[in-house]
Every structure is written in C-alpha cells, then in structure tokens.
Amino acid sequence: MIHHKYIKNRASNLNYRRSLKLCMEEDFYYYLESNKDELIKLLNNINENLTRFLKEQNDTELTVSDINLFINKTVTNYVEKSGLLPTAFKDNQSKENEKIEKTNQNQYLQILTVKFKEFDYLCKNLDKYELRDKIRIKAIEVIKQSDMSFEDVLSKVSVDNLQKFYEMTVKSKKDVILNDLKTYIRRNIELFYPLVPIHITEDIAKVEEAYYQYINIVSKKPIQKNYLKFIKDNAVKSENTISSNDKTQEQLMSDIISILNQESNNTSHNNSLEINSLIEKYIDFRDSSKTVRKRQVLSLNFLKEFLKGNGTTEHPTLNLKDLTENDIKRFTNLFSNATPKSTKKTRKMNLFQLAEYRVKNDLDRYKNNTLEMMQYDIQNFWKYVCKYIDNRLNPSLFDAFDILYLTSQAKYKDKQEDSKLRGFTTNELQTFVDVAYSEDKLRRILTDSPRNFFCFFFAYMLGTRIAEFTYIRTSDIKKQIKDGEIAYYIYLNEDVVPQSLKNKNAHRNIPIPKVLIELGFLNYLNLRIKREKEWLWDFSSSGYGSISVFFQRHIKNLFPKEKKELQLRSLRKNFASKVFSEDYNTKEKNPITIKSLEQNLKRIMGHAEGSTTGVYLDRIEPIVGKNLLDTLGDYDLNLEEIKSYIGNYYQNILTDIDSIDSSFNWKKKSNIKPKKGRRV
C-alpha cells in the first residue's frame, strides 16, 4: 500500500501490485519460483529500496509508471550484485552445479505442469456450478499477479459479466502456462526425447511432437510427483526410441547415428500392411471434429483401397514407400471417375468398383467442394507421413494428385458440371406447403414427427441450419419482456452434446415471429415442457437424417427436374434473399438506420459484418428481432388453411407460456467450442 501523497493526482492510497515476471528475465523468474529463500530476499530488497525512494522523492509526485521503472532497475541491480544470473549455471560445468541445474529443471517443470493440470481442469468444467467459487478465486489470483488491480476490474466489468470475466481470465492463464511449457520443452528438448519417435529428425518437428505428446498424456493422467521420471515412463513404444537416461549429448548423438545406420541396412517392409495404423495415427494427430474425422476416414480409405489393388496387373498391390508419380496419376484418374457412396449399393463398393459403376451407368461424380476437401485430406496425410514417420519419402509426390482440376475438366467435357443450389420460387414454396402439409397429412405429422413440420418454417422464416434446428433444448427457449412487449427467442448455443454450431457467428438469438406462434409453436413447446423433455424435438441416433429424407422425398416427387438444385438448405437461401433484398423495409432513407438494420438482420442469420469471417456482431435483442421479422407477415405464403388445420388440432392457439424464463440475460455470450484440428 502506497500513501496517496506520493502519487500524482490521487486522493486515495494506491494498492500497488505488479507481477515479478514483468520485472526480470524469464529464466531468472523461473529460478525464483523454485527457490523461495532467494525470492524472499529479493522482495525485502525491493521493499527497502522502494520505501527509501519514495521518501527521497517527497517533493515530487510520482506516477505508477515511475514506480514500475524504479522496481525494474532495483531488480536488475539485485540480480547483477547477487551473482545469480541464469547463465551462471550454464557457464559453470562443475558437478555440483549440474545437480543444481537438474533439480531446478525438475522443480520448474513440476510447477508448470501442476499449474497446467489445475487450470486445465477448471477450463474443462466451466459450466459446473459447484466450481464457480474456485474459478473466481483462481481468477483473482491471476489478476493480483498482473498490472491491473482488482478494483480496476470491478470498475470496468459489470456484475452480470463478472463470472464470464473470471472464466476468460482462467482460460487465458491456461494459454500462458501452455506457452511457458512449450518454451521449456524447446529449451530442454533432450529431456523429452523419450516422447519423440526416431523418424522425426527436424528440430521444429521434434518440439511440436514432444509438446503435443506431453500435454496429451499429462491431461489424461493424474498429477505426478516427478514429471521427468513420468516422461521416461511414458516413452514411445519403439525399438528406435532414444533414451536420455544419464547420457551426454555426444552419447545421444552417437545413438541416433547408430539407429539410422541400422535402419538404412534394413529392407523396407510392406507399408500397405501398416496403412490402417498410419491412418489412425494421422487422424488422432489432427484431432479434428467428428464431422471432419468421418470425411478423413472416407478420403483415406480410397488411398488404402488403391494400395491394396484389385488383383489385376493394371492395379497391383503397392507399398506406400514405393509409390511413383505414375501411380499417383493412376490414383487421380480412378478417384476422379468414382461416383459418390450415396446409395445402399455404392456404400459397399471400393474405389475401383465405384469408378467402373459410374462409367457403366453414366452417373454423377463427386461434387467439387467435396473433392476439394478430400484432396486436402490425402495430400495432408502424405505430408504427415513424410514429416513424422519417414523423412526419406518425397514430400512433393502427391502434388500431382489434383483430383479437383481433373474432375472439373471431365465434367465440363461431359457437360455434367455441378448444379448450383438455389432458393425456391414462391410458387414452389406454396406447392410444397399445400401438398406436404395437406389436412390429412398434417395431423399425422404433428402427432408422429412435428419436427418435419416446424423444420420447414424455421428454415424459411428464421434461416436456421438443419443441425441448429435439430439440437435445440426446451430450456434454450427464452422470453424477453420490455415495456409491455413480449418476445420469445431461441438462445442458440452448443453447451451440451450433441449441440454443434458451424462457427462463432452461429451463436445467436433467434426471435420467434408472430406467424410461427400462429402456427402452434408455443402449443408444441408447452407439451414438451409438461412432459419434462430436455430436447425440443425427438431425434434418433442418426440425428437429422430422417428430416433430410422427408424433405428430399417430397422435393423429388414435386420437382423431379429440379431435385439437384433444391434441398432443405435452399430455404435458408430464401430467407437471406428476402431479408436482404432492396424491397425489404424500403421506407428507411437514413444511412445510419439502414446500416443498423443490416447488422440486426445479419445477427439473426448468424453472419458477421461483411462475411462469416468478419467482425462478430453479438446477439440481437429479441424484441428488436421479432419486430423486424413480423413486418414480413406470412412471408408471401397463403397459410390461412394451415393455420385453420392447426387451430383445430390444438383447439386453442397459445400466445404466452408463464413458465418460460424471462429473467435470462439475452446478451450473455455462450461458450464457443474450438473446431480447429492440429496442423501438420
């Protein structure tokens, strides 16, 4: 605590806090963490010198920056006079100092890893109410170690956002610790050799692999007493793994050369027999989302089938190590001729059969956007093999694997270019509604599968994606009351498995317009709440597959010539075209008002400013969003008959549900799951 008389323009005492990490070199800071006696000496020295400095400056008012600068100089002088510079241990090669250095390494790694485990546990359980106090306490500890005082935090962060601030602080601290661990591994890579396969020879790749493996096993195991020993106990299970136990750098290098010479004398084994394990390693290495994993398996299975061959001289069995440019060209031709595994019959076919079946029956090839991702999967897999498995392979071999270009050329030549997805016309929409939801069908749909009814109107009137629609919980439906107005809305998030949103912008509030309430949405919601159902819709293990089948069957029957251009996704296109058209709200002339309108519409759609990768616009206020959508009325459809059918079905259309939460903060940001996998 510093008296206010010493501080410029201050009426109250200053509760001064500053992290030592900001006052010294990183190495010395870590040395102090494992040497408490030296830390106490330094702190006493700082206090004594700072007290004297303040008294000497009695006539001059100081700023916080002046005090920071003085403490930095004090620490520098102390380090120089004490003879405890970090390089002292490195320069002195005595056995005693080697023991001290080894002890410090172990202590520092121990401290960092235990801290990581603690913060990692909190970050993985942010949604657990019983840990809220612990998260708050840890966050306050982090704040005290920074330049910001807790009083500053309270003055800048509202009470509603305080817990969220604590959570973000804990997550940022975990990131700092991870960065410190990576720095430690880079500086002491020889200690982590047991975690690095001998095939990896590049220094950067060694660090990346050691870091990834260490964090991975540390996360899964309980806290250890000795993490250096823990590294050795969890060494890579391979004859070619190098052990650093009690060996000098020269001995380690000798071991590496010996193993490499031994490997070069061995005959290469049939790599096609190992392709399964390589694919598993690669997919585990990438650590992608479930959806991407499925695509990776499909893509790499084609490579596996190509290596296996089909028993002919044209397509013999091949080793991964023996692939040539001609083999890659052959593989590319086969791949570009394959038809998608979209039917029961084709799902059981291999690459050779798919290519033959497509040519024989003049079927469609894979879509270009699918080919682009499959090409990436296979080329990236090859880079992984070359970098982490066997660096003697040619990393540019699969550059010739350009299935996207070859397939596009073939489609152009055969006049079979990909059909582009479009929105429905108003007549097509009305036809779909009249036929799919006719009176005799509607009662059965509302009884057996109401999701097939509401999904159409959610997509067309709210722009929801099918995955967003499918995994809504009843508790995600909220209510805002303001100035006598009521707005129901969906607080879209991915807090519970299997909820999964496309990107950050998809985390949004979706207001429920008047027309959806007239179509019985609140009646249906009320039934789900009374039955104590967690999810708004019943869905099978296949997720939203049954919804897709329902719509594609009707589209195929109603618009057979347009079945390739029209899908359920087309309805989202219709919504976007409608709300962003020049005809919408043409009364507005003020550029500022028009800009605000566009931003609110993007919030409803789940788009960012400018694009889906632009500035995130946060959640729309539900009442504002509802009023915008209500101006669209029945969205150019004739829904009077359907409203009448639904009125008869439910007897009384609900316009309000008392039990719906109206105290929820609609501005609250939801937790956004990371979707990016590990790069090769």
Residue 217 confidence (pLDDT) above 80 = yes
Q: How confident is the model at residue 369 (pLDDT cuts 50, 70, 90)?
A: confident
Q: How far apart are CA 463 and CA 427, in angstroms?
A: 19
- The model's pLDDT over 56-107, given as tens digits with 9 standing for 90+, comes to 776 677 787 778 888 888 888 877 666 554 444 343 333 334 443 444 656 7
What is the Cα 208 distance to its own chain's centre?
A: 20
- 477-482 and 509-511 beta bridge pairing: unpaired
How high does pLDDT run on average in the chain? 81
- Once rounded to an integer, what is the mean pLDDT over residues 428-432? 94
Contact 508, 625 (CB under 8 A): no
- Once rounded to an integer, what is the mean pLDDT over residues 207-224? 88
Residue 547 confidence (pLDDT) above 50 = yes
**Cα angle for residues 237, 239, 244 (degrees, 5° grid):** 80
Supply the DSSP string of 297-362, one letter for each residue.
HHHHHHHHHHHH--SSSSS----GGG--HHHHHHHHHHHHHPPPS-SHHHHT--HHHHHHHHHHHT
- Once rounded to an integer, what is the mean pLDDT over residues 264-278? 57
Q: How confident is the model at residue 614 (pLDDT cuts 50, 70, 90)?
A: very low
Could you tell me where in the chain the CATH 1.10.443 domains are found? 426-650
| Tokens standing for residue 290 | 């479930």
Other Cβ atoms within 10 Å of 257 Cβ, number: 9
- Residue 463 or residue 289, greater confidence: 463
Q: Whole-model pTM?
A: 0.54
The pLDDT, as a whole number, for residue 256 is 60
Q: How confident is the model at residue 542 (pLDDT cuts 50, 70, 90)?
A: low
Residue 2 confidence (pLDDT) above 90 = no
Q: How confident is the model at residue 205 (pLDDT cuts 50, 70, 90)?
A: confident
- Once rounded to an integer, what is the mean pLDDT over residues 10-30? 71
- Residue 670 or residue 463, greater confidence: 463
Q: How confident is the model at residue 13 (pLDDT cuts 50, 70, 90)?
A: confident
Strand, coil or helix: 456:
helix
The pLDDT, as a whole number, for residue 612 is 38
- The model's pLDDT over 354-363, given as tens digits with 9 standing for 90+, comes to 999 999 998 8
**pLDDT > 90: what percent of the chain?**
29
- Once rounded to an integer, what is the mean pLDDT over residues 431-447? 92
Q: Mean pLDDT lowest for which of 50-59, 136-145, 165-174, 583-592? A: 583-592
State the angle between helix axes of 162-187 and 95-124 in degrees (0 to 180), rounded to the nearest 10.
150
* Beta-carbon contacts of residue 335 (< 8 Å; ≥ 6 apart): 302, 351, 355, 374, 403, 407
Strand, coil or helix: 520:
coil
Which residue has tokens 């009707």?
554
Contact 567, 546 (CB under 8 A): no
Q: How confident is the model at residue 585 (pLDDT cuts 50, 70, 90)?
A: low
Query: What is the fold, at CATH topology level, of the domain defined by 426-650?
Result: hpI Integrase; Chain A (1.10.443)
Q: How far apart are CA 490 and CA 272, in angstroms?
A: 50
The pLDDT, as a whole number, for residue 425 is 93
Residue 273 confidence (pLDDT) above 70 = no
